[in-house]
Every structure is written in C-alpha cells, then in structure tokens.
Amino acid sequence: MTVSAKVLPLAKDTERLENRLAEIPPEPGVYFMRDSSDRIIYIGKSRKLRSRVRSYFRESQRLTERIATMVKQVTDIEFIVTDTEAEALALEANLIKQHQPYFNVLLKDDKKYPYVCITWSEDYPRIFITRKRQVGKGKDKFYGPYTDSRLLREILRICKRIFPLRQRPQPLFKDRPCLNYDLGRCPGVCQKLETPEEYRKTVQKVAMVFQGRGQELINILNEAMCKQAEALNFESAARYRDQINGLKSLTADQKVSLPDDTVSRDAIALAKDENHACIQLFQIRAGQLVGRLAFIAEVPPLSSPRSTEENDRGLSGAILQRVLEEHYQTADDVEIPSEILVQCELPDSDILAAALSQRKGRKVNIVAPQRQIKAELLEMVERNAQYELQRMQKLGDRNSEAMQDLATILDLPDLPHRIEGYDISHIQGSNAVASQVVFIDGLPAKQHYRHYKIKNPTVTSGHSDDFASLAEVIQRRFRKFVEDPELQRQGNPDFPDLVMIDGGKGQLSAVVAVLQQTNLIDDVRVVSLAKKREEIFLPGASLPLETDSEQPGVQLLRRLRDEAHRFAVSFHRQQRSDKLKRSRLDEIPGLGHHRQKQLLAHFRSVDYIRQATPAQIAEVTGIGPRLAQEIYDYFHPSN
C-alpha cells in the first residue's frame, strides 16, 4: 500500500487513529510506524501490541523529544503478531537491520567515540576508523564505539603490521603494486595478486581481534605454526610466530582478576541525570579487558515528578536492556559472551537471555551480582560511567551559559534550541559553494549539515557575488516553508530558532531581502557575525551590538561561524579537486568511461585525439562514425 503525501498524520486524525488502534490485537509482536512517503521510520516490539502503540498517542504520556517528533510524522501503523515476546525480539532485530528506520536510534551517535569499520561489501575489504556509523551497505560491519581513540589506532596499526592487509583506499599505480607489497605489508590487492577469498580469510582473523576473540585467534595461529614447523616450512612458521607475539602485546598491559578466566563476559553499568544516561560496557575475554565501549542514551521523562528508588532502578534496568538489545543486534553470534553482568535487574532479562542463547548456540546468563569480585567489577564500570556523565554535565553547563548569554544579547524570548550558520566559499567565483551547519543546544549536529552548489549563472570564474550566493542559499533552504504555508514553523524541529550569516551588514542585508520577499522575516531571527572584530549585526541596524568578543554567547557564535567556514572550505576543495581530475572527454555527450579508456589507449593522449580526423577516430573499437564526428566537432567547433 502506498500512502498519499496528502494523508494527515494519525495524531491529527482522531477518528482514523482510533479505528487503527482498535484493529491492533493485545498480543505480542512487532509494530511498524510509516510516514507520508510510506517509509518505515520506527520499528518496535511489545508483549501487548495495542497497549504499547496506544501509549504513543496519549496526551498524558511524556515522550522524549525524539519520539515526540516521530509521532507527529506517523500516518500509518502496521504490525506482525508472534507467539512469544522472545520471537518478537528476534524479529524486531532482523527488521531493524533490514529497514534501518530513522528513529530506531536509542543510542546517540554524537561523533564523539570512534568505530572500526570493515567493508565486507567489497571484494577486498578495507579496515578503517570512523566516527560516523552509517549502515549504507548491509554487509559492512562496525565495531565499537570505543572510548580510547589513541589505543584503538595503536591496535589497528599493530594489526596492519602483523597481518598483510590492504594499506590504501585507492591504488597508487595502475599497472604495478606499491612499496607496501615489496615490504610484505600488503598482498598486492590493487593488482589482484591474491584472490578475494584468500584475502578475506586474513581480514576475518583481524575481525576476531575487534570481536574480543584474541585468545581464540592466538590458539588458531599457534596450531597453524606447529603444523608448518612439523612440515619443515620454517619461514611460514616464523610468520605465524610473529603474528602470535604481536597479538599477545595487544592485551599484555590489561588484566582483570576474575574467578574463572575461561568465561567470556560483558559488564555493563550506567550513570544518569534527568536527561541523559552514560553507559559503559566492558568486554572481558579470558580475564583480559579487550574492549571498553561507551554509549549515550536519552532518559525517558518520568510519569510522576516524584521518583522512588524502586522506580529509578526500574528505569535504569529498562535503559540497560534496550542498550544491550541494540548492541547485540549488530554483533556476530560468536561475539555474544557466555555471561553478562548488569548493574541492576533487567525487566525482561529472561527473554533477552533466551534470544541470545539461541543465537550463540549455548546458554547465556544475565546476572546482577550483589557482592564479591563481580560486584566490584560493576562498581568500576559504573565509576567510569559517572566520570563520563560529569564531563557531559560540565559541557552542558557551558553550553547552557552560552545560550543564556546569547539570548540576552539578542533579546530572544527563549533559548535558541536550533541555530544554523551559513558561509560561502570560492576562489574568485570558481566552484562556488555554501555550507549550512547546525548546532542543537550549543553542540554540532552533523547529521543536519548540508552543502549547496551555487547555481546563480552570474557567479562564474572571475566574477564572485557573495550577496547573491547567500540570497540563493537562504531561498533554497526555506523554499518548502514558502511553498506550503500550512507547514508548521514554530516548534518544527527542522525550523531554526536563529540563523547566523558569516559576514557583515552587506551579507545580512542580502539575506533579509530574501526573507522579506518570502514573508518569512517575522519567523526567522537572523544575525551576522563579522570576522574582523567579531561584531554582531542585526537587521536594519547601522552599528554592531555592544559585546565582548570573549563573552560566552559571542564565543558560541564564533564556534558556529568557524564550523560553517570549515565545512564550506572542505566542500569547495573537494569540488575543485574533482574538477581537476575530470577529463575534457567527460564533456562530450554519449562518450562514457569505457569508450574514453578505449580512445586514450588508442591515441595515448587527449592532444592526439584533438589532432585526429573523424575517420581515424572511427577506427577505435566501439566508436561509430556518428560519435567520431561528434568528438571531432567538440574539438573543432565551427565559427
């Protein structure tokens, strides 16, 4: 079924909402939330589908900002009934992996913690560190997020030293491998000197390190070393020996004392305030602390302002349960430990344990220890989570102070929740681009960043016009609010509370003129920040505001301005680099990449192609007389 774009959200269509809720049975299962474009934006599970789905639409229900935004977009609800909640949990995990709904993110990816990505979607997988976890291709695998980026880089460096791995994202030479091949650091994947199957076996060994299976890998390599030594292949045995020694060095400095070093364990605990929970998960394998992962989650508002200790522990248990569910959804079955130590009892620990046991193929125990060594381990995990929460609170206090000061400077009625910054980048008008960066509650929200290529025909190489470029960008940014006057502005999470333009009075006047023409001037609060003296200009004012460049509100605008500038410059450099890489042959209609390669292989250079006659060009395989004439005409335009 395709939902029309004109269908009202269920929250605004009471009759249709009640009819749909009445159709949902009070049984365990999985539910889907769809938006007006028929996209699945949220997938959830429940032991009683009707009660759970109805709770989203109760006025008395206090929802997090993320879920409240999602509910406003829901136009249809679907469901799948299962026999048990354990089946619903497994089905939910599979469906989330398949559809990747936008709002199925309990754990905030604030780009703070790094991940390791292995691109299994490629014939020769790459291994690299990233702070942006995107599931663009289902086969790619992310490990993390890790708290210590320095240690993570060191681990990856050691892995690339002891295993022959692909060292470059792109080949350095077209017809021969680079020096890494001669040094034995790369098997020559750029020239396919090793088959994809053999190379993937090597990458699978490296993946075991990030799965916490280092000791298992050492045992496998030790067995292979002994076989090679028995077969008198001493050179091969020596390579295995070096790999084993390198792997042992990874965990030699960190050991956790537990009564049974043969059991793999995860220990998880959190520290929270009214808004956020900081969660730490320690991965312990054979007594070794092999990984320390960190997550940040929103704390759901309490139904009652008065919270008892029992309710508080219940909330903590619910958060830990959801974190574990999301974490193990993306984990391989072999990564699931035999024992999970939790800070407090989970609401459905038996269901989660049963689902994990089924995946692992052996029993998984979820334990909330109260005494002795395991409890002390959890206290250590909780203490690390508390330190992270304190750091977040200090950062939040700084941002709150900055937003308070900015609201005072600009005489804003409320704190600016969403602030957008814009900047233009070019070199004398060439490759002109613009950036839109977004700060939410004083912090960069990179998922909302946008690039713009300037389309104004008057902005060309040798002729720049920052005023016209900014006017174009602002017009394109707010176009949907002009084309649909009924679209909510105030309170809309996509509508800014404040717009900051990088520049002085001229740039600001160009933007204000566009907002006046589109009747948005009363809804969009806009200011500009000049670079030279860090001066803030308001629309219609001839003089800047009296401010100190070091006060918190101005510093917040400076951070926004600098981020907009950085983002614009990086995009401009990318565009300029891409243009330099493009061949003149790209501009000839009908001449694709394959035929370009055939032409260059035949004539050796573009200059020789330019000098060739149509008949000579037509001699190239795949180039007919008509295309040959078009190529000739391109290089010899008629006057």
Instruction: Round to whole Å and give the CA distance between 94 and 141.
Output: 15
- Residues 434, 423: Cα–Cα separation, whole Å: 6
Question: Rounded distance, CA 125 to CA 204, Å?
Answer: 10
Instruction: Answer yes or no: is pLDDT of 302 > 70.
Output: no
Q: What percent of the chain has pLDDT over 70?
A: 89
Q: What is the pLDDT of residue 419?
A: 93
pLDDT above 50 (res 198)? yes
pLDDT at 68 over 50: yes
Give the pLDDT confidence score for residue 2 in this predicted structure: 40
Q: Give the mean pLDDT of 416-434.
A: 89
Residue reference for tokens 């994947």: 189
pLDDT at 498: 93
For the chain, what is the radius of gyration of the CA atoms?
Answer: 30
Answer whether 265-390 and 411-580 agree in fold. Answer: yes
| CATH hierarchy code of domain 584-635 | 1.10.150.20
Partners of residue 370 on adjacent β-strands: none
- pLDDT for the residue 581: 55
- Average per-residue pLDDT for the chain: 82
How is the chain split into domains, by residue range?
10-99, 115-250, 265-390, 411-580, 584-635
pLDDT, residue 241, reads 82
Task: Tell me the per-residue pLDDT of 135-150, one tens digit each, with 9 for 90 and over.
Answer: 555 678 887 777 677 7
What confidence score (pLDDT) does residue 249 get?
60
Specify the length of the chain in residues. 639
Per-residue pLDDT tens over the stretch 480-526: 888 887 777 776 778 899 999 998 888 999 999 999 998 888 888 99
CATH architecture observed for domain 265-390: 2-Layer Sandwich (3.30)
Tell me the per-residue pLDDT of 602-627, one tens digit each, with 9 for 90 and over: 887 788 888 889 899 888 888 888 88
- For 10-99, CATH number? 3.40.1440.10
pLDDT at 26 over 70: yes
* Helix, strand, or coil (residue 530): strand
Report the pLDDT value the prediction gives residue 253, as an integer from 0 to 100: 47
Which range (124-128, 290-294, 368-372) has the least confidence?
Answer: 290-294
Q: Is the pLDDT of residue 397 over 60?
A: yes
Residue pLDDT, tens place only, 226-266: 887 888 878 778 877 877 776 666 554 454 555 566 678 89
Indicate the CATH number of 411-580 among 3.30.420.340, 3.30.2130.10, 3.40.50.2000, 2.40.50.140: 3.30.420.340
| Pairing relationship of beta strands 76-81 and 29-34 according to DSSP bridges | antiparallel
At 400-414, the pLDDT tens digits run 888 899 999 998 888
pLDDT-derived band at 557 (thresholds 50, 70, 90) equals very high
Q: Residue 265: beta bridge partners?
A: 284, 339
What pLDDT was estimated at residue 248? Answer: 66
Task: Judge whether residue 110 has pLDDT over 50.
Answer: no
Residues whose CB falls within 8 Å of the CB of residue 472, separated by 6 or more in sequence, listed in order: 452, 454, 455, 456
**Gap between the Cα atoms of 320 and 485, Å rounded:** 43
pLDDT at 6 over 70: no
